[in-house]
Chain A
């Protein structure tokens, strides 16, 4: 037996409340990220990702407080992303109890941040999030570009080349989200997942589009991902983490049961 493939439930949090809806039987307050993180921890999730989508500056204090509360009660790795722009932002989240931080837009504006953060805090805690979208083929080959602002704003940056550059600068992991698939429930965009997992030596988390358990299997067996991230299939109680792991194990994937 070797290293297990990871299942990572993702919480999208706005002003201290989980959005996109969560439906656990027996949870009184369905939007409380601390309660939800604890539940996923009990279910055997391998990590938890906390994505802060709070727009306001004041809301950031709420986020720090929530991360502190989760870290006190959840003894699996916790990644925090959203609004991380500086070494100071990273330090605040690590001090609050995050094990890793995920850098997205700030890496595009200032790639040196990734190098500095990796040197300062160690590659193991620096995740670079990439939001990729399929664009016109070049010479008959598929091409994906990085988009910002929730997939609305193109950057012209090639997603595969960018992933390789981020790995070189010291990222410890890539969180790859397909903006074509996010929210569709049609499965991961396997083309870009495969292209990036082949291009880098660091672990890659596939994200965006999970609607059924076969998608998780495809992300790993076809996409080559080291971990799979999903939100709604777990939030709405369609599947539990143990069900997802059992399904993956049936398909020959090594998981932590």
Chain B
């Protein structure tokens, strides 16, 4: 194990920022700490780095308990959200800083910095100061600086938060490539589930300082541990329903709910991609009006309004949409392929039930 947390709690005064969190990161893994802001994920990262000390619990790096080791002794690379480049130093001296502190020999230092400049596409910018760089360049300098002294783990706090959307996609792909090439254990914090699903090998999901689930992107998406995860990862339609004669009913919709008590109040959740829409009104059982179509790229998001006034979200590819000749305001028929029953407590998340034989999801379904 490269990083391990055992029962770690961190309090700031009376506020519990991190509550009894345990998880581990394997050697060479690219791990995302995901959660809404204020979820405690940045605090966890700072606890690993040694910038915060745990109130209770143990932190291990490469099998060694590091609770009593200072930041300087932990040999970690940390990239701050706003990069925290040394403003009074140029790119070369920023990257050299850690090596000078560790008293590297001049020739070795020179070679290492040149290697990094090349790897990060920063050649020719050595003498520039941070304020003379673009956002993307600054981030690359920050990562190069963190990696220069060959840390055992690389920690990144919201690495894509401070750049605009256009560069963000580029940087994500670049981070994956970089991680693949260097194979250094990397942990990054993000509040963007899309980013976590796309970039990470595994994801740790936090909310309110509590660890909700650890798993691969597919695991947390397909088998969410609780309702919070189910709703946080990917979009989800959630409807309040009442069970009558073994069926959860809401408006005209019916979901088999055998095992639930008569009169029980339940919530039904289903992914937008589980809603199949057709322009042919005889094709599916339910009818609705297509209110709005949102263009998300390859996929479209459809908002359906049912005669009972319910609104649902559905997903559809651009080709399918064009082929069926759909447009806003049209009447459509639809069915719901898969759904889950969500009970009151987060722990009681029902298994995914299928109404229709499933077609295997394609990659786009995860967005």
Please say whether chains A and B are actual partners in one complex.
no
User: CB within 8 Å of A: which residues of B?
Assistant: none
User: CB within 8 Å of B: which residues of A?
Assistant: none
